[in-house]
Structure 1
């Protein structure tokens, strides 16, 4: 009874201290119980060597130590698979620092969650994108919200509409040529990523709004603001920033300033168009959309009781936020991945003059010998862009070597995936990662995977479509993939016959960092894609350009 009395006295005398210690003990007990459950879940599942203490954190850390900082995980997963002989799929136990993952690098396995039974996006996708653009951007949305957005935007990415955009893209490319002329005249070293980003941003802004935001010819403040939002979001996710409350306040305050400047600008474009549509009693056409914004405003125009009167034309606060999120997402995603692909493509072309020559010859064969006349010709006959198999092969080969990341899905409780006669769990909060990089660097699917070989995609040599996973598959495949391919073809038309590009400042590694690639012995660390919203070029793709006489 003495012990009980002493404990009771302690509770009465020091209630706050006892409560605090009780909470601490409960938290520690819960932490270790959760850790035990996590480690037990992964013990007998396919994966690299597993530790009761470290899970797979040590394995991930060993690969990360070989690479430059802030690596996108897709290349790390490919290296882990190769180093440990992991075929098809493997689990990664990263508790308590990250969500556990099931990494798929087999096309048939990917189809099980993307095509056969499409699973929703993992909440992690929205958690990562929300600080950059807002909640429920189409790339991360699920359910009714995704269906509504997908249905609204889909006509803007039809082939008929993409062909209609050719003249606009050519106009922007002519501005880009003028910029390249100036850089060629001075011989300066410049960031190809930054310069091409301004071109691509003006293209996507005209697709979204039907007018440019003048990133090529003016400051491009909207582009600068969106890029800063990415950097600030990265800061919020950084563990060292999160541990310092002063840094978190600084990041929050700066983000508030940027959003306070950017959102009103974008919203003014929305309302300017919305009120015009109501005033003119125009319901945007789905068959021949003027812009993506028109498509997103279509339902609001149809529902407006004030046709012909703009004074009370309003969109609900929730729909305003959803529209702003989609616009920022389109501007960001629409220029980001295309810019990345262009930078890697021109980097590869600078080391493969034989590929450049074949592209030039194909352009001459289809559009004639005069490059400026060819730009006028493609505006009149945009369908001829589909007659460039070698050029398209070079683009696809770039996307094979440097895919634009992977989607993340999640499953309901009790769901499994089938592989080699067995069923494996895909629930427990797992991040289901379809690693295109792992497929596209696998010699089983692509012999000599390090070789830049556009012929892989032509005629009898063409690789099966199932092996090309950069854009995903199924209903959630990238909406803008055909748009991006056409846009890059037009940019190549505008540049490849009249300009030679050369990488600047490359520092080839004496020994390869990884076992699955030796490209860093040619290009240095720039081949190791950096983690941003997407896998991006490291170092900005520094180049010089020379105009061909």
Structure 2
């Protein structure tokens, strides 16, 4: 009896799943059939496979595990007549895409039309943030949410957080000193992620996580989810849809929510007991702003707490992950270019005192000095140009067409617009010598051949939806370089890594061994194995 019911039910489910798959496939393919008939730019396409057959030959030109965006950057070279803009059908591994690799078209998508964030981002960010968040919200909901955090992430607010940043930076430097004494090889990316987690914890929720020195369940849960989540770019379906993954992500989310909820209640109680004033962490400012028009109660409003927990999870992710990678790449670029290293050390000597370890004390007394380091800022911006932590995504709309400098028009309806930052920021039509590390680009006047193109630098996006935390990120990176580069020398150990892990095949992207891989934000492959040594006094570079 039971068997007689189960088999028809199972068959119905299978037929339904096949029908749903076929319906979605036909819908996606018809979009591209119409685009192709209009003569719009795209690689060779078929109704059965879309553009899936285009990807393997591209991936063969890149190291195993590198970013898919690098493959699309290579593909953009085939579409120079349309300024690198083209359509790609990668269903069922992703949405129908309009790929954008030029500053002009990116400005149209993100500023002129301010296109919405697409629905496809919601499930992508769900395991990280746990719900609707600033990154995926649109319209009035986004404006209300952004307004609650603007003050907390302002330049003035971030300078007030300087003691927190310096406190964690001193722990980071002490760890580097220990590695310098031992002379061992270690992952710079790993310890920098721990460091930035401690910084963003202090700045965002006013709590010391101590993840640099011991286990912290909030930090561990977030990093675990990121380690599982980067498989979004995995083409192997058995890895991409591992059944264990949602269980791990659910448990990590439970741990993060519990931890943040406790901290929220603690800060709310502190707000009540201090006559409705608090020290100015981002969480404190959000609580104060929210409570201005509400009556005080014994506990924080549950709806606000749920909403705030989601935003804080997003901030913890974005505030530590991409910033850590930017710090590692900034150090890598400096120590690959001795002349640049000598210039930045000279700037730090001039502004922060001549002693190798004077930065922390000077910045404690004069935090605004951090904004008097133009060459350091140029180094960071050039590093982020070459190694942006992510790309942008927008959703197309009916009647919205982008237009390139040659007059070609590109419909956006029913498409996700993938704004590939790495391709835009290395586009040779806009950046002279695009693959070279030239901090001077950021110090020349408009009209100079090296001067950056409008809308061409997008690590924090550009326009109304730019990153709310970019001031904090730049502060963190500048403080770290000020504390580090005069005391230490850093040397990557990829030669040692390759000897210990021999493989065949391509090992560089754009000639760079420390190429980017997707692990939340884009991080240096293998965690950037390196050795740190003490710089000898009197050594200019």
TM superposition score normalised by structure 1: 0.86
Q: Compute the displacement of 1:283 (Å).
A: 5.4
CA separation of 1:40 and 1:471: change in aligned 2, threshold 3 A:
same
Out of 242, 251, 258, which is 1:257 matched to? 251
Q: Is the 8 A contact 1:112 1:118 kept in 2?
A: yes
Out of 495, 511, 522, which is 1:519 matched to? 511
Q: Is the 8 A contact 2:186 2:531 kept in 1?
A: yes
The answer to whether the aligner puts 1:468 opposite 2:454 as a matched pair is: no
Q: Is the 8 A contact 1:173 1:199 kept in 2?
A: yes
Residue matched to 1:134: 130
CA separation of 1:499 and 1:33: change in aligned 2, threshold 3 A:
closer
CA separation of 1:50 and 1:300: change in aligned 2, threshold 3 A:
same
Q: Compute the displacement of 1:237 (Å).
A: 7.9
Out of 99, 103, 124, which is 1:103 matched to? 99
- Measured in 1, the distance between the counterparts of 2:317 and 2:25 equals 41
Q: Compute the displacement of 1:472 (Å).
A: 1.2
> Which runs of structure 2 are paired with 1:418-433 in the superposition (5 Å)?
418-419=403-404, 420-428=406-414, 430-433=415-418
CA separation of 1:197 and 1:22: change in aligned 2, threshold 3 A:
closer
- Measured in 2, the distance between the counterparts of 1:31 and 1:223 equals 38
Q: Is the 8 A contact 2:117 2:395 kept in 1?
A: yes
CA separation of 1:71 and 1:431: change in aligned 2, threshold 3 A:
farther
The answer to whether the aligner puts 1:533 opposite 2:520 as a matched pair is: yes
- Measured in 2, the distance between the counterparts of 1:140 and 1:275 equals 30
Q: Compute the displacement of 1:20 (Å).
A: 8.8
- Measured in 2, the distance between the counterparts of 1:20 and 1:495 equals 59
Residue matched to 2:478: 489
Q: Deviations over 1:319-378 (max 9, x none)?
A: 332211111111111000001111112222232222111110111122221133332222
Q: Which runs of 5+ in 1 are unaligned?
A: 1-13
- Measured in 2, the distance between the counterparts of 1:451 and 1:262 equals 41
Q: Compute the displacement of 1:16 (Å).
A: 8.8
Residue matched to 2:4: none
- Measured in 2, the distance between the counterparts of 1:513 and 1:472 equals 29
- Measured in 2, the distance between the counterparts of 1:340 and 1:137 equals 23
Residue matched to 1:501: 490
Q: Is the 8 A contact 2:41 2:79 kept in 1?
A: no
Residue matched to 2:189: 193
Q: Deviations over 1:24-79 (max 9, x none)?
A: 99668746743651341331211233334433222222212332344323222211
- Measured in 1, the distance between the counterparts of 2:207 and 2:329 equals 28
CA separation of 1:492 and 1:17: change in aligned 2, threshold 3 A:
closer
Q: Is the 8 A contact 1:274 1:297 kept in 2?
A: yes
The answer to whether the aligner puts 1:543 opposite 2:522 as a matched pair is: no
Aligned pair count? 517
Q: Deviations over 1:413-446 (max 9, x none)?
A: 3322223334321012x11112221121122222
RMSD: 3.0
Out of 339, 342, 358, which is 1:357 matched to? 342
- Measured in 1, the distance between the counterparts of 2:525 and 2:263 equals 34
Residue matched to 1:302: 292
Q: Compute the displacement of 1:532 (Å).
A: 2.8
> Which runs of structure 2 are paired with 1:31-50 in the superposition (5 Å)?
33-34=26-27, 36-43=29-36, 44-50=39-45
Q: Compute the displacement of 1:94 (Å).
A: 1.6
Larger Rg: 1
Q: Deviations over 1:392-416 (max 9, x none)?
A: 1111111011112112111223322
Residue matched to 2:539: none
Residue matched to 1:397: 382
CA separation of 1:342 and 1:18: change in aligned 2, threshold 3 A:
closer
What SS class does the counterpart of residue 131 from structure 2 fall into? coil
CA separation of 1:83 and 1:512: change in aligned 2, threshold 3 A:
farther
Q: Is the 8 A contact 1:38 1:93 kept in 2?
A: no
Q: Compute the displacement of 1:132 (Å).
A: 2.0
- Measured in 2, the distance between the counterparts of 1:452 and 1:426 equals 34
Q: Deviations over 1:293-338 (max 9, x none)?
A: 112223543354346xx3xx2422x433221111111111100000
The answer to whether the aligner puts 1:78 opposite 2:104 as a matched pair is: no
Q: Is the 8 A contact 1:283 1:302 kept in 2?
A: no
